[in-house]
Structure 1
Amino acid sequence: MSDLQVLLQRAIAFRERQDLGGALDAILLAAKAAPDDANVALGLAQISFEAGLDAADLYAAAQRLQPARIDLQRSRATALAAEGRHGEGEALLEAVLAQHPAWIEGHRCLCGMRATSGDSDFARSFPLAIERDPANFGLRMAWFHVLATARQWDEARTVIADAEAALGERQPSLLGKLFIASESGEAADDAALFDGVEGVEDVGLDLARVRHFLRSGQLERARDVCLKHLGKPAMRAFWSYLSLSWRMLGDARVDWLDAGMRDVRIFDLDFTAPELAQLARTLRTLHTMHEPWHEQSVRGGTQTERPLLLRIDPVIASVRSKIEAAVSKYIAELPPFDAAHSLLAAPRGRFLFAGSWSVRLRPGGYHATHTHPMGWISSALYVTVPDEADLGPAPSGHLQFGNPPPELALPLEPYGAVEPKPGRLALFPSTMWHGTFPFTDGERMTIAFDIIPAKA
């Protein structure tokens, strides 16, 4: 193995352990030794981006070495936006899409960039592309999905109707129409809505079916769709719906699965007031968006983009150290191993951050009820909380657990709630439903992350 390969492997190993400082040292040595190596250039850009450093120009250099990879232009645009250069990021994607109108990931990235900047016409790149490629059914369906995620039901219906008028009905458009009919409320009570697609095997369709069955009171059907995924990776997305099904059916197994608030733990971390103030100042500089992404739970606020707790920053490193100690304690004190359980089946050794970010809510802001199916353990660390007068009467601003999504209209009470306090960390199972109540005035800023077990 050459010296360059050794350095690359070292950078990869440090990155996999989420030691971005070590990874950056190794990849910088590799870049000095081989400045024109395409893999090294890409590694330098990626590690720099994840470490919280400026990376847009590094992605541009990497793309020049691999000009056929337009995905690197998406990465560069994302880095530009993270650096507060939204206009440049949008212009870059527009230029690439002018040459590659069928590039779906580019459209999605541009839509997200425009939506988070407050642009109401965020999806306008799609119709321009379809004018040039009218027979591209996949492009039309990607447009539909972007609009449906934003819950723009009328616009989404129009896109599907135009697609079918031009190219005929196909399975994706049929499923799209069923999804709209259920999620928009148009046919929420139609028990037979999904009967015509019983034989279609698709995880996304199964999630739509489960939600529809819960809405329409078909509780056994909802339960059975969830149970057919037991033992499969996709089950992470269905545990929370199985919980709702069991609760509605009075099935005692829900006590085994959720155990109420047993696995919700509070840790009041040892921050000083000056430390929290410095952390808040640091986080505010990272909130460069104006609005949240449509697919997120944030309502009335913003969320940071790149991995927060991997940043090379002494303020963030100090927070990460406190968080890791609390997570280790949480894991060590979990109930005994249970191979069938969504939380208790995971190995108890080393762990990694699957994602980490900050959310800054404005007055009236809140989190819609949601789960984190890609995680194992999830969190909320309160950095700033409005004072009592601005927060409003309890439970304003509280983090609530076990409450079903309101759009499912299920008569279930929450298991409990956590009161927000600066420096307080809440840890809980990623598959547990949770959301927050709006507050009256002031700023509510948190750090959140998902934990997964590290691979052996």
Structure 2
Amino acid sequence: MAADAPDKLLARAERDIRSGKSAGVNELARAVAQNPGWVRGHIKLADAYWEAGHGLGAFRFFEDALKAERRNAALWNAYIAALLESGHPAEAADAASDAFLIFNAPILQLMVASYASQAGQLDRADRLFRQFEMPQADHSISEALVRHALRMGDYVKAAAILDDLLRARREDIAIWALAQIIWRLTDDPRLEFLIGRDALVKFFSLDLDSEDLSALAGLLRAKHVSRAAPLGQSVRGGTQTRGDLFEGAGSSILTLKRALANALEAYRRTLPEPRADHPLLKYADRPFSILHGWSVRLTEGGHHVSHLHPVGIVSSACYICLPSALGQRRQGVLQLGVPPEDLGLSLPALSEIHPKIGHVALFPSFLHHGTTPFSEGERLSVAFDAVPVR
């Protein structure tokens, strides 16, 4: 294989995934079968087969390859990550356990404990977590222990470990998201400082007319060619575009991006005074820029599970097309602040937004967010993350 052949194969496969074609993906599958240790090829192939609707069958090339590449640690890591991203933590825990028998690496035991806990296998996870008695020495262990303590109902322990995490990882949005949950559970007065009584959640009308929205809807529909969302995404009962929606975009998408940028600046101007110790307000005196964007198309029964965008500072949901009955009987509602299901908590939403065509919701990226299912029709949206301009 020529030196640049792997990159060309991956690029052709990516183009096919985005366009709904199969020739490049089939070519990649043949190359992976001939080169079972090619990790990047396996990852791209798993992506392709998952989005084509193969379910756990998307990972069969990983499983075949590991029979021949038993001591390929990178291949094991990629396989375990794919299982976790597909929403199968129990299978990821079992795979990590199999890998531990080969490599005897403590990090694999932590992975088994973390994923077993996420899968609800709390006794199994608890036995393994007891081996990690000094969480302060490794903050990745601390984060896993916080999540496990929440699942076990030990909110005091979770809060104690969280304080150490906040000192060490104040720039980490995922840790602030845990703080929001734990401070609600423990009636911590710092909650008011963090969430600010809805002052950080806003809903704006965009400067788009019906022709703009109709053109956008047609363009976006053409980009939704897969049968399932990419691995690791929150979409259930729908699809999500790959890559950056705004990269190399046509006039309709650029018109949308300008309207979103204007709304983002209007949002910044509504924020309270800057605070150096706050994960969002520390940037309130600086303009924000759109980091990347994507589109989601949901159909009957579709929804987002509660999730987080840890690479952004501000997150969003912009509505292009909605079912006529949306909003009735609390269907299709955007819920902010609901913990992810795997934590086993019953906290209600901090805020709810009923979608409107041509509007955008903007909120801190440290808020978990998801949507309620709807009974019929199509829900077409665009989302992006924003970061402060450096």
TM-score, length-normalised on structure 2? 0.91
2:161 alignment partner in structure 1? 225
One-letter code aligned to 1:308? L
1:174 alignment partner in structure 2? 109
- Aligned pairs for 1:35-114 (under 5 A) are 67-68=3-4, 70-71=6-7, 73-85=9-21, 87-114=22-49
- Aligned pairs for 1:356-435 (under 5 A) are 356-388=293-325, 391=326, 393-435=328-370
**1:157 Cα offset (Å):** 4.8
Counting aligned pairs with the same residue, the percent is 33
**1:141 Cα offset (Å):** 3.4
Q: Is the 8 A contact 1:189 1:215 kept in 2?
A: no
Q: Is the 8 A contact 2:294 2:382 kept in 1?
A: yes
Structure 1 segments, 4+ long, off by >4 Å, are: 188-193, 200-204
- Aligned pairs for 1:276-291 (under 5 A) are 276-291=213-228
SS at match of 1:307: coil
**1:327 Cα offset (Å):** 0.6
**1:278 Cα offset (Å):** 1.4
Q: Is the 8 A contact 2:315 2:365 kept in 1?
A: yes
1:159 alignment partner in structure 2? 95
SS at match of 1:229: helix
The yes-or-no answer on 1:269 pairing with 2:225 is no
The whole-number CA distance in structure 1 between the counterparts of 2:90 and 2:328 is 37
- Please, which of 367, 370, 374 is the counterpart of residue 439 of structure 1? 374
The whole-number CA distance in structure 2 between the counterparts of 1:432 and 1:154 is 26
Q: Deviations over 1:33-71 (max 9, x none)?
A: xxxxxxxxxxxxxxxxxxxxxxxxxxxxxx97xx25734
The yes-or-no answer on 1:258 pairing with 2:195 is yes
The whole-number CA distance in structure 2 between the counterparts of 1:88 and 1:397 is 37
SS at match of 2:172: helix
* Structure 1: runs of 5 or more not aligned: 1-62
How many residues end up aligned between the 2 structures?
387
Q: Deviations over 1:161-216 (max 9, x none)?
A: 54345x25322331232123211112169766523123465554433222111111
2:67 alignment partner in structure 1? 131
- Aligned pairs for 1:3-42 (under 5 A) are none
Q: Is the 8 A contact 2:116 2:124 kept in 1?
A: no
The whole-number CA distance in structure 1 between the counterparts of 2:235 and 2:98 is 32
The whole-number CA distance in structure 1 between the counterparts of 2:108 and 2:359 is 46
The whole-number CA distance in structure 1 between the counterparts of 2:146 and 2:313 is 22
The whole-number CA distance in structure 1 between the counterparts of 2:59 and 2:372 is 30
The whole-number CA distance in structure 1 between the counterparts of 2:95 and 2:85 is 14
Q: Is the 8 A contact 1:188 1:212 kept in 2?
A: no
- In terms of mean alpha carbon deviation, does 438-447 or 272-281 score higher? 272-281
**Highest relative contact order (Cα 8 Å, sep 6+), 1 or 2?**
2
The whole-number CA distance in structure 2 between the counterparts of 1:157 and 1:393 is 40
The yes-or-no answer on 1:312 pairing with 2:249 is yes
The whole-number CA distance in structure 1 between the counterparts of 2:145 and 2:121 is 15
Q: Deviations over 1:272-325 (max 9, x none)?
A: 222211110110001111101231111110000121123330111111111111
Q: Is the 8 A contact 2:177 2:366 kept in 1?
A: yes
The whole-number CA distance in structure 2 between the counterparts of 1:445 and 1:293 is 17
1:215 alignment partner in structure 2? 151
- Please, which of 69, 76, 84 is the counterpart of residue 148 of structure 1? 84
**1:73 Cα offset (Å):** 3.6
One-letter code aligned to 1:247? R
Do the aligned partners of residues 414 and 436 (structure 1) sit closer, same or farther apart at CA in structure 2, a change above 3 Å counting?
A: same
The whole-number CA distance in structure 2 between the counterparts of 1:146 and 1:253 is 37
TM-score, length-normalised on structure 1? 0.78
**1:119 Cα offset (Å):** 1.1
Q: Is the 8 A contact 1:189 1:216 kept in 2?
A: no
One-letter code aligned to 1:283? L
**1:365 Cα offset (Å):** 0.6
The yes-or-no answer on 1:321 pairing with 2:321 is no
Do the aligned partners of residues 417 and 155 (structure 1) sit closer, same or farther apart at CA in structure 2, a change above 3 Å counting?
A: closer
The whole-number CA distance in structure 2 between the counterparts of 1:204 and 1:108 is 24
Q: Is the 8 A contact 2:50 2:228 kept in 1?
A: yes
- Please, which of 276, 280, 286 is the counterpart of residue 349 of structure 1? 286
The whole-number CA distance in structure 2 between the counterparts of 1:348 and 1:73 is 45
Q: Is the 8 A contact 1:144 1:160 kept in 2?
A: yes
One-letter code aligned to 2:353? V
SS at match of 2:236: strand
One-letter code aligned to 1:289? S
* Structure 2: runs of 5 or more not aligned: none
Q: Is the 8 A contact 2:327 2:333 kept in 1?
A: no
The whole-number CA distance in structure 2 between the counterparts of 1:189 and 1:132 is 30
Cα-Cα RMSD: 2.4
One-letter code aligned to 2:317? A
The whole-number CA distance in structure 2 between the counterparts of 1:107 and 1:213 is 35
SS at match of 2:58: coil
**1:348 Cα offset (Å):** 3.5
Do the aligned partners of residues 151 and 371 (structure 1) sit closer, same or farther apart at CA in structure 2, a change above 3 Å counting?
A: closer
**1:445 Cα offset (Å):** 0.7
**1:127 Cα offset (Å):** 2.2
